[in-house]
Structure 1
Amino acid sequence: MSDTPFGFGLPPEEPENGDDGKKKGGGQGGQQPANPFGFGGPAGGGDNPFAAMFGSMNPGDLGAAFQQLGQMLSYEGGPVNWDMAKDIARQTVAQGTADGSKDASVSAGERAAVEEAVRLADLWLDGVTSLPSGSGTAVAWSRAEWVEATLPVWKDLVDPVAERVGAAMGGVLPEEMQAMAGPLLGMMRSMGGAMFGTQIGQAVGVLAGEVVGSTDIGLPLGPAGKAALLPVNIEAFGSGLGVPQDEVRLYLALREAAHQRLFAHVPWLRSHLFGAVEGYARGIKVDTSKLEDVVGQLDPSHPEQLQEALQQGMFQPEDTPEQKAALARLETALALVEGWVDAVVHAAAAPHLPSADALRETLRRRRASGGPAEQTFATLIGLELRPRRLRDAARLWASLTDARGLEGRDGLWEHPDMLPTAADLDDPDGFVHREHLDFSELDKMLGEAARGAEQKKPEDGDKGDKGEGGR
């Protein structure tokens, strides 16, 4: 990932063109770091994108650079320039991963293999969960297609944080200076949207080279009811494991299909997870003192100063009960989702796949450590989308299966208040064997309360004693 995303330049060529952009920017090839705005000239430019720019440009490049600069500074949209984010993500994908792996269109054979793997995965899952299939269709995506399909969800995740940063950027100047610095403030907002767009685009592009499906981070990133796998990344993931590729694909299809069942048949889950992310974002405190220092020293020839502050992380969680509760709610929810998937997939895979145990452990470690793109998102939004207690949650779900059966275990997803808490992960046996509510009686009471409220509505305009008598 580039350190100078604002060293302006031409985008790299798509890999299918065959020349990898070698004739652009003074002979740079596809091996340069992902720098969508970098002219990519000799390294003599150092950390100053303008030094690199004027040291290696030809007149054609200069015109393109100022056109891109004009587009960046004329942006008047939301807190993130998402058009820029999409372009940069696709350019990052086109450049390939650090190990040289390139994106490729999905072949008919790969598409058929994914469809068959998801079909078989759903068949195996039918025997280990009471939730029906949630995969209306099975699709095989290239990395570029994954970017296109998931950007709307990234927008939902990132915009709340970016709005706070944008507001802080506009508020660091005293009121008497704001009137004088109107154009500068507008430029700063445009730069802020561009900087977030650059960072998010690069992170999404790198993540596209790591993920194997649409639910790797525990959130439903793709369209509802669409189980998606990335054949090029599955092949890269399986290389070196000593496991047949068909087994790897099947195991990953099981995980994708299990996630799809959960999100399709637990209607409140998606809003619960995204609400927890938004709740956490609302409590993020922007380090305005650091921002004031940067703005006070802002040199038009060094826009990367503000970029560096963003990369270093200007967010620190407020030490409030509300903030702690939001973080605990999100981490527990992610752990419960990933733990349920882990337990259910293992139960489905163990009788059929000889390498089920090895694949399970590999994926647990991969999920726990995260990759460079996940770390970038942690810096950008101050939050790690990682289930810290995956193993504890998986053990709890397995114990619930033994004690209450499939119906009793999966019935806990009927309402968020029925799910285990963080404290229950500390004492899984206590939760498993605790007397639990008769949910049918609870539904009955809720229904009666709702009917009573409906009956009282016509009396709202009458005397209050009628309302009292109806209690």
Structure 2
Amino acid sequence: MTDSSAPPAETSTGPTGSALVDWDFAAAAASRLVPPGPRTGRGEIEGIVTELRSAADRAIDPVATTAQLQTPPGTPPALVVDRPGWIRANAASMGAMLEPVLDEVVERRRTADRARAEAKGRELQELGPTAQKVGSTITGTEVAGMLSWLSTKVLGQYDLAPQGNPRLMFVAPNILAAERELDVDPSDFRLWVAMHEETHRVQFTAVPWLREFIIGRARSIGTEIMPEPDTMGERLREIATELPGVLRGETDITQVLATPEQRERLAEVTAVMSLLEGHADVVMDEVGPSVIPTVATIRKRFTERRKGAGGIDKILRRLLGMEAKMRQYRDGAIFVRAVMDQVGVEGFNRVWESPETLPLPTEIADPQAWVARVHG
């Protein structure tokens, strides 16, 4: 982490993308904003932390057997964090993920400003460190609000950590809140969540190329979606015009932010994310009642909970694209089950051979098309 009191990073030609968002400020502000979670005693806190660590270990063998994929030896153990811990980890990962994208934004802006300055016979004037710092703090405030809200929703995560070492995480207060809200067996629910997240860990550790593929695609699309400096005002007006439709659920946020060509690229990444989320949902359920006795009850109540967002929560989900993520769970699980029904788990696992065997956007809704293309 960098010293938030230091001036923005600069090169010989001016500031870099890291100057656009003060990630340390965002993490600190989000940690102050977020509520701590359900009221509980120290003994219960210690108990859930211990049990989640145990559940992560217990999930490894059932997931490996069900998915026929193996987490390699030496993979770091799971972390159990509170909401501020999740915020800090994700602020660091978001900063690392977006740094090349923001570098491109800065370079585009500098090129456009230089062209305008040359046209007027002037030298390019870079913003001073104080002005850059004010801008990054304002942006960091906006990021803080997003991180604070998300940190109350996430149960677990496999953090891809573009800046360092990927790690499986569980957010203890959110798991405690969810199991109380659903009124389910706590031990079964904690193990069930662990099955889902362990499946994500095995996806990225047993398939060595997948992590860099996802990071690369996300950065590429982020760079493409960023509007050119000369069109920024027009794009903002278009977004403002379409935003009411997003809030009413009439259109998806990506329909507002992206051009038709960019939406095609987004659809490719969405198909892969649907695969990953659907596969994790299928595995966590297929492990079965011999390992998690109340799995059917948990799945039924959890599915209803996913549908139950209302009011401001639903609006925020739409603005952040979370409703699209809910569809990924559903559509991906349908795809995975349909493929496994036709070619079994071993046949399904051909999906992990290379980027070329990942499902296309049209194939998520037509599993037979993927089977025909990959299996012939």
Q: Could you say which TM-score interval applies, normalised by the shorter chain?
A: 0.7 to 0.9
Map 1:246-325 to 2 at 5 A. 246-286=187-227, 288=229, 316-320=257-261, 323-325=262-264
Contact 2:19/2:136 (8 A) holds in 1: yes
Assess, with a 3 A threshold, how the Cα gap between structure 1 residues 372 and 228 changes in structure 2: closer, same or farther.
farther
Distance (Å, rounded) in 2 between the aligned partners of 1:344 and 1:259: 10
Greater relative contact order structure (CA < 8 Å, 6+ sep) = 2
- Contact 2:27 2:88 (C-alpha < 8 Å) held by counterparts: no
Q: 201-210 or 173-182: which moved more?
A: 173-182
1:20 match: none
Deviation track 1:19-51 (CA, whole Å, cap 9, x = no partner) reads xxxxxxxxxxxxxxxxxxxxxxxxxxxxxxxxx
Which piece of structure 1 moves more, 108-117 or 244-253? 108-117
**DSSP 3-state at the match of 1:353:** coil
Equivalenced residue count is 341
1:348: which partner in 2?
287
User: Which of these residues, 159, 165, 172, is aligned with residue 99 of structure 2?
Assistant: 159
Looking at structure 1, the residues matched to 8 and 365 of structure 2 have their Cα atoms a distance apart, in angstroms, of: 53
Richer in helix (by share): 2
Distance in 1, Cα, partners of 2:104 & 2:131: 14
SS in 1 for 2:78: strand
Q: Quick one: distance in 2 between partners of 1:395 and 1:230?
A: 27
SS of aligned partner of 1:93: helix
Please give the secondary structure, in 2, of the residue aligned with 1:227.
strand
Give 1:339's aligned amino acid.
G
Structure-2 change in CA distance of 1:102 and 1:211 (3 Å): farther
TM-fit CA distance, 1:165? 4.1
- For residues 132-281 of structure 1, the aligned pairs below 5 Å read 132-133=70-71, 136-167=76-107, 169-170=109-110, 171=112, 174-175=116-117, 179=122, 182=125, 184=127, 189-215=132-158, 220-221=160-161, 224=165, 226-281=167-222
Residues 194-243 of structure 1, C-alpha deviation per residue, up to 9 Å, x if partnerless? 3333322332233223212223xxx6359656432121111112222111
Identical amino acids, percent of aligned pairs: 21
Distance 1:129 1:284 in 2: 35
RMSD between superposed Cα atoms in Å: 4.1
Aligned residue in 2 for 1:93? 31
Distance 2:63 2:157 in 1: 18
Does the residue aligned with 1:330 lie in a helix, a strand or coil?
helix
Structure 1: gaps (5+ residues): 1-67, 294-312, 438-471
Over 3 Å counting, the alpha-carbon distance change for 1:385 and 1:430 in structure 2 is closer
Higher mean C-alpha deviation, range 362-371 or range 225-234: 362-371
TM-score, normalised to structure 2, is 0.74
For the residues of structure 2 that align with 1:275 and 1:78, how far apart are their CA atoms?
20
Q: Partner of 2:267 in structure 1?
A: 328
Structure 2 counterpart of 1:272, one-letter code:
F
Q: CA deviation at 1:377?
A: 5.3
Structure with greater Cα Rg: 1
Question: Which SS does the other structure have where 2:16 is aligned?
Answer: coil
Q: For 1:201, give the aligned amino acid.
A: A
Question: Which AA in structure 2 matches 1:326?
Answer: R
Q: Unpaired runs of 5+ in structure 2?
A: 235-252
Question: Structure 1: which amino acid aligns with 2:176?
Answer: E
Shift of 1:367: 6.6
1:338 and 2:277 aligned: yes
Secondary structure of 2:168's match?
strand
> SS of 1:128's equivalent?
helix
CA contact (8 A) 1:346 1:356 kept: yes
The 3-state SS of whatever aligns with 2:169 is strand
Gap change, CA 1:373 and 1:88, over 3 Å in 2: farther
What TM-score comes out, normalization by structure 1 length?
Answer: 0.60
Closer, same or farther: CA 324–354 of 1 in aligned 2, 3 Å: same
